């Protein structure tokens, strides 16, 4: 397994990480690895959602400029 060294971690963040690890009965290293894995999964999930939304936007119906106004057509139909 690889080893990751992280520098310039604020004292406040370090303290919060230690508290999280203690609350989960995990070592600090195990908790940080779990948090990093969750963050990567979340980022990948959001990237997938963005791709799906972009595809939906490309396929959505956009009326042509020369198409008649549907509201005007409804009003005309109702006035008959």
Q: What is the mean pLDDT of residues 69-73?
A: 88
Q: Classify residue 8 as left (phi > 0), alpha (psi -120 to 50) or beta.
A: left
The C-alpha angle with vertex 68 and arms to 59 and 55, in degrees rounded to 5, equals 5
User: What tokens appear for 15 in the block?
Assistant: 């303290």
Q: What is the mean pLDDT of residues 62-79?
A: 87
Residue with more model confidence, 76 or 21: 21
Q: What is the mean pLDDT of residues 49-64?
A: 90
- Please tell me whether the overall predicted TM-score, pTM, comes out greater than 0.85 for this model: no
pLDDT band at 17 (very low <50, low <70, confident <90, very high): very high
């Amino acid at each position: 397994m690889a080893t990751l060294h992280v520098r310039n971690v604020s004292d406040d963040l370090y303290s919060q990480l230690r508290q999280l690890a203690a609350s989960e009965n995990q070592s600090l290293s195990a908790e940080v690895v779990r948090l990093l894995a969750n963050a990567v999964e979340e980022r990948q999930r959001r990237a997938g959602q963005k791709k799906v939304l972009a595809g939906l936007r490309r396929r959505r119906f956009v009326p042509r400029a020369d198409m008649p106004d549907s509201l005007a057509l409804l009003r005309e139909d109702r006035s008959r």
